[in-house]
């Protein structure tokens, strides 16, 4: 949308913001990637449209301590991640100028993005101004976002194990899922531990990366807004969102509906409790063994 580009140039020129986080075209037609623009001339390369799938909120961490304001363009689902980072005091609201950009569902070279097929709505949680269009309001979710999880839950334990072995054994530990995740924002990551005895050794069986994936999903449990970036960036096309959504589904069922990144300073399900909570044994009474 040209209006976003124009408005960003205006804000850069009048000194309201010192830099813009947006997208630029890559080498092909479909690989738009996050980019930083520091003056009006650089803004020539700014693009927004069908291939701006990347969630830019994580880049805010980098600019939080820099001088002046940073303009960041966020789609409705991206504002949830931004809000979650605000909750966690990782970024300061006054350091950012948020343009909420209307979204019709994003694509990549293979067609519509998976995360957009379970669209979480068109509401902006955080914004300074919204540049929307009518077309964007019409699109809706194509599927129930828990459908994949429910399908897996219906399988037997051995089938689930085989499914995950098939998926997770493809993992090459590139850490892209960790690096892209807006909830995964620790300064020192538990996986960067040379003393673990695992970090620099190649797997000897085909299912040793499962620990990594359980831990990754657990670390963002209750804070994951289900932005779907992990699955989008995975070079091996592992359906990582199915792990995150399982946690979300469980927390919704056991501890009440909760959407990370919505509302003010709410406690997450794992940082609160009630005296009547179910005992851990409950998970073994449900579904197939």
Closest CA to 116 of 232, 209, 203: 232
If the CB atoms of residues 29 and 205 are measured against other proteins, the closer one turns out to be 205
Nearest Cα residue to 21 out of 72, 95, 57, 85: 72
- Minimum distance from CB of 190 to other proteins (Å)? 7
Which residues would be at the binding site for other proteins (CB under 8 A)? 152-153, 157-164, 190, 197-198, 201, 203-205, 207-208, 210-211, 214-215, 217-218, 221, 243, 246-247, 250-251, 254-255, 269-271, 273-275, 277-284, 287, 289
Q: Which residue, 103 or 217, has its beta carbon nearer to other proteins? A: 217
Q: Report, in Å, the least distance between residue 256 CB and other proteins.
A: 12
Smallest gap, in angstroms, from Cβ of residue 15 to other proteins?
Answer: 47
Taking the C-alpha atoms of residue 106 and residue 108, their distance in angstroms, rounded to an integer, is: 7
Nearest to 15 by CA among 38, 34, 36: 38
Shortest reach from residue 141's CB to other proteins, in Å: 23
Residue 107 is classified by DSSP as E
Specify the residue for token string 């040379």. Answer: 194
d(CA 184, CA 4): 29
Q: Answer whether 80's CB lies under 8 Å from 125's CB.
A: yes
> At closest approach, how far in Å is the CB of 187 from other proteins?
18
CB-wise, 108 or 266, nearer to other proteins? 266
Closest C-alpha among 132, 116, 138, 145 to residue 54: 116
Q: Are 55 and 67 in contact (CB under 8 A)?
A: no
Q: Give, in order, the Cα–Cα distances in Å from 123 to each of 120, 126, 183, 188, 209.
A: 9, 9, 20, 33, 37
Minimum CB distance to other proteins, residue 230 (Å): 15
Q: Which two tokens stand for residue 141?
A: 């979710």
Kindly state the smallest distance separating residue 282's Cβ from other proteins, in Å.
7
């Amino acid at each position: 949308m040209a209006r976003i580009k124009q408005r960003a140039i205006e804000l850069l020129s009048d000194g309201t913001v010192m830099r813009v986080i947006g997208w630029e075209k890559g080498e092909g037609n479909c690989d738009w990637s996050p980019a930083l623009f520091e003056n009006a001339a650089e803004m020539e390369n700014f693009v927004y449209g069908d291939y701006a799938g990347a969630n830019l909120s994580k880049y805010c961490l980098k600019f939080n301590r820099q001088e002046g304001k940073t303009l960041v363009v966020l789609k409705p689902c991206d504002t949830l991640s931004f809000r979650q980072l605000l909750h966690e005091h990782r970024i300061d609201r006054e350091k950012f100028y948020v343009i909420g950009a209307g979204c019709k569902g994003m694509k990549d070279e293979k067609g519509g993005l998976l995360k957009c097929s379970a669209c979480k709505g068109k509401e902006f949680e955080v914004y300074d101004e919204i540049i929307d269009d009518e077309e964007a309001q019409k699109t809706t979710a194509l599927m129930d976002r828990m459908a994949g999880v429910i399908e897996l839950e219906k399988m037997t334990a051995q089938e689930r194990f085989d499914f995950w072995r098939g998926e997770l054994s493809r993992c090459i530990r590139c850490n892209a899922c960790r690096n892209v995740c807006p909830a995964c924002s620790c300064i020192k990551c538990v996986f960067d531990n040379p003393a673990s005895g695992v970090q620099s050794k190649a797997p000897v069986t085909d299912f040793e990366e499962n620990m990594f994936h359980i831990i990754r999903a657990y670390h963002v449990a209750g804070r994951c807004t289900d932005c779907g970036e992990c699955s989008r960036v995975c070079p091996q096309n592992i359906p990582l969102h199915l792990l995150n959504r399982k946690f979300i589904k469980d927390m919704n069922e056991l501890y009440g509906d909760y959407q990370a990144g919505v509302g003010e300073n709410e406690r997450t399900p794992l940082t609160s409790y009630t005296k009547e909570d179910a005992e851990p044994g409950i998970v073994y009474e449900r579904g197939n063994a």
